[in-house]
Every structure is written in structure tokens, then in C-alpha cells.
């Protein structure tokens, strides 16, 4: 999406919520990022759009005028995008699948292979994103569908279907006292420093298991944006981290141990798409992904059954 249109979308979210924190959560961006974008828009227009109050914000007279025009512009843009994408879906093009981390684990090549076989006339591209973009380019219109992991927050235009769920593990250096344990719980690691994802709030909190800490403060050893940064930080002793159990199969390396956890909710993998970009190809990809998950999901190894240590 064009940068100016993104600013318009951000403005309308704040205008509807009249609160930066709620608008940021709705847009799945950080509050400082949203504030910076609104400030840029105001500087570009040369007017103040909002007045800050102790309980939120209110629209200025100029802001109220801009709101009506902004809705007209955004509606026209979304209609143009929908019409253009619908026409393009019937032609030869590249279908882009965004993903984060290890996508749908062992199911990923099975899904893409079957989808490619059903649509031999199109190109297929896998595009990886880091922790900062759990929607993997979907909101910006850079991809057609996404393989990712909730929580993703409440986003009105986002549609998802769950493919499978798996337990979580704790990743620690093999020299760590917990490396030899059969299982660990959150209570066992309350005082450990954690490697934190630089991700929007819901994702970051989920992987730090904040809900299970029962108010116990957390120590952040380092913040990272990629899996490799996370694993290297653990190897350097900067902290420990929770991850999906399939990480052991995809990211095992000397010096790391993957310890099964207890008392944590499962982590699920979903296929996600945008409601205003539900083309026939998107619908068929979702169908294929769910079909593969139902038929072949049992082939995904049970994460708890693999050895925990990747030491030499």
C-alpha cells in the first residue's frame, strides 16, 4: 500500500477509537510507531488533526473535515484494489505466500506442492518475514496468504483457519542446569532472563508466557527480530526462550537443548488472508492447506518424542 494511504488508514483508526493505545492494538503496530505516523501526517498537511487529552484524543475542526475526505479516498482505493486483483487472479501471475519462522513445519512443502500441481500456470513464491511482522506482509498487500502463528490481535479484515497445534519447549544452552530436565514449567524459569521478540504486544507476551507468570516480573536479556538472533543469543548466555516444539527439528544446533514444557497453552499454525483479497486462488490455497493438514497432519513428528539436546 502507498505510504500516504497507510497514513490515512492510521488516521481513521485513531479517529474512530479516539485513543492511541486502542488504535495501535487494532492496527497491530506499536503505540510509538502510530504516534510517529500521525505526527508525520500532520506535518505533511500542515495542520493539527487531533488534540491530546488526559483520556485520549479528540478531532480538531480540521481533523473532522479531513476524516470525511479520508474515508472517501480509502473506500475508492479499496474498491480499485479489489477490482484490479479480481481481474489479475484470472491471469498468469506469481502467487506469494508469506511466512514467519518455520511456517507450517513439515506440511509446508506438501501444501505448496499440491497447490502448484493444481495451478501449473502460475508462479509460486515463498517470502519470509521476521518477528516484527507476524502478518508477514499481508496488511501491506505484499503477499496473497500467510502461514503464521497467533495471537494476531483483533483485526476486522483478517481471516484465519487453524491447520494444527503443537506444544512449546524451552530453549537453553546445553550447559544450563535445566538442560537435563525431562520437563520444565513457568515456575522453574521465573527468575531466568528471557530473549524477547521485537513483535507486537500479543505475540511478544505469548512467547514470554506473561499470562502464566501470575504477575511475577520478567527479566529481558535481549530483544531479537529473527530466529537466528534468538538462538545465537541463547548460545551466548543472554537468556532462555520458549519456542514451538518443531524448532528442535528445524533449528537444532550444537550447544542448544530443547526441553518440553508443562502448563503452557499450545501454539497453533494458521493460514491467514485478507477479506478484501479473497480471490479464487486464495480460497483454493486455504482449501489445500486444510486438506493437507487433515490428511497428512499425523505425519508431523510428535515434538516431545525427539531428543532434546543438539550437543556434539
Domain CATH code at residue 16: 1.10.10.10
Cell numbers that stand for 57 in this block? 484524543
How far, in Å, CA of 246 to CA of 206, rounded? 17
Same domain assignment for residues 107 and 50: no
Same domain assignment for residues 149 and 170: no
Same domain assignment for residues 146 and 12: no
Cell numbers that stand for 143 in this block? 503477499
pLDDT score, position 91 = 53
How far, in Å, CA of 160 to CA of 143, rounded? 15
pLDDT score, position 86 = 66
pLDDT score, position 58 = 94
| Residue 61 resides in a domain | yes
Q: Is the pLDDT of residue 2 over 50?
A: yes
Cell numbers that stand for 260 in this block? 518440553
- Mean pLDDT, the chain, rounded, equals 89
Same domain assignment for residues 82 and 32: yes
How far, in Å, CA of 50 to CA of 61, rounded? 9
Same domain assignment for residues 62 and 199: no
| Residue 295 resides in a domain | yes
How far, in Å, CA of 236 to CA of 230, rounded? 10
Question: Cell match 499470562: residue?
Answer: 211
Band of pLDDT at residue 307, cut at 50, 70 and 90: very low
Q: Is the pLDDT of residue 46 over 90?
A: yes
The answer to which of 3-12, 79-88, 137-146 has the lowest mean pLDDT is 79-88
| Residue 33 resides in a domain | yes
Domain boundary, last residue among 88, 119, 146: 88
- Reported as a single tens digit per residue, the pLDDT across 242-258 is 999 999 999 999 999 99
Domain boundary, last residue among 70, 88, 106: 88
Q: Is the pLDDT of residue 59 over 50?
A: yes
pLDDT score, position 52 = 87
Band of pLDDT at residue 306, cut at 50, 70 and 90: very low
Q: Is the pLDDT of residue 145 over 60?
A: yes
How far, in Å, CA of 129 to CA of 226, rounded? 9
Same domain assignment for residues 99 and 52: no
Same domain assignment for residues 273 and 157: yes
Q: Is the pLDDT of residue 310 over 50?
A: no
Same domain assignment for residues 152 and 280: yes
| Closest C-alpha among 122, 137, 169 to residue 280 | 122
Q: Assign residue 176 the CATH number of its domain.
A: 3.40.190.10
Same domain assignment for residues 183 and 257: yes
pTM of the model: 0.67
Same domain assignment for residues 125 and 39: no
Domain boundary, last residue among 41, 56, 88: 88
The domain of 211 spans 166-267
Same domain assignment for residues 143 and 279: yes
- Reported as a single tens digit per residue, the pLDDT across 65-93 is 999 999 998 888 888 877 776 665 555 57
| Residue 311 resides in a domain | no
How far, in Å, CA of 266 to CA of 259, rounded? 15
Q: Is the CB of residue 102 less than 8 Å from the CB of residue 149?
A: no
For the chain, what is the domain count? 3
| Residue 253 resides in a domain | yes
Same domain assignment for residues 139 and 222: no
| Residue 312 resides in a domain | no
pLDDT score, position 84 = 73
Amino acid at each position: 500500500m502507498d505510504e500516504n494511504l497507510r497514513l490515512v488508514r492510521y488516521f481513521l483508526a485513531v479517529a474512530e477509537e479516539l485513543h492511541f493505545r486502542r488504535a495501535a492494538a487494532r492496527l497491530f503496530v506499536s503505540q510509538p510507531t502510530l504516534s510517529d505516523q500521525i505526527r508525520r501526517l500532520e506535518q505533511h498537511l500542515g495542520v493539527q488533526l487531533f488534540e491530546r487529552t488526559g483520556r485520549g484524543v479528540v478531532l480538531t475542526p480540521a481533523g473532522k473535515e479531513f476524516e470525511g475526505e479520508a474515508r472517501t479516498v480509502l473506500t475508492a482505493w479499496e474498491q480499485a484494489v479489489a477490482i484490479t486483483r479480481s481481474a489479475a487472479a484470472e491471469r498468469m501471475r506469481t502467487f506469494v505466500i508469506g511466512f514467519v519462522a518455520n511456517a507450517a513445519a513439515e506440511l509446508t512443502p506438501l501444501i505448496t506442492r499440491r497447490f502448484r500441481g493444481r495451478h501449473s500456470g502460475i508462479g509460486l513464491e515463498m517470502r519470509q518475514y521476521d518477528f516484527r511482522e507476524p502478518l508477514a506482509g499481508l496488511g501491506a498487500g505484499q503477499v496473497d496468504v500467510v502461514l503464521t502463528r497467533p495471537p494476531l490481535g483483533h483485526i476486522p479484515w483478517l481471516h484465519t483457519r487453524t491447520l494444527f497445534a503443537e506444544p512449546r519447549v524451552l530453549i537453553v544452552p546445553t550447559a544450563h542446569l535445566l538442560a537435563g530436565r525431562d520437563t520444565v514449567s513457568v515456575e522453574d524459569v521465573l527468575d531466568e532472563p528471557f530473549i524477547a521478540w521485537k513483535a507486537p504486544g500479543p505475540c511478544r507476551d505469548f512467547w514470554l508466557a506473561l499470562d502464566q507468570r501470575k504477575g511475577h516480573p520478567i527479566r529481558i536479556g535481549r530483544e531479537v527480530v529473527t530466529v537466528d538472533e534468538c538462538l545465537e543469543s541463547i548460545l551466548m548466555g543472554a537468556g532462555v526462550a520458549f519456542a514451538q516444539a518443531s524448532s528442535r527439528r528445524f533449528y537444532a544446533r550444537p550447544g542448544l537443548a530443547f526441553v518440553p514444557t508443562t502448563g503452557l497453552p499450545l501454539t497453533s499454525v494458521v493460514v491467514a488472508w485478507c477479506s478484501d483479497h479473497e480471490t479464487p486462488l486464495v480460497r483454493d490455497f486455504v482449501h489445500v492447506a486444510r486438506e493437507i493438514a487433515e490428511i497428512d497432519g499425523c505425519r508431523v513428528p510428535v515434538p516431545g518424542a525427539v531428543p532434546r539436546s543438539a550437543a556434539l
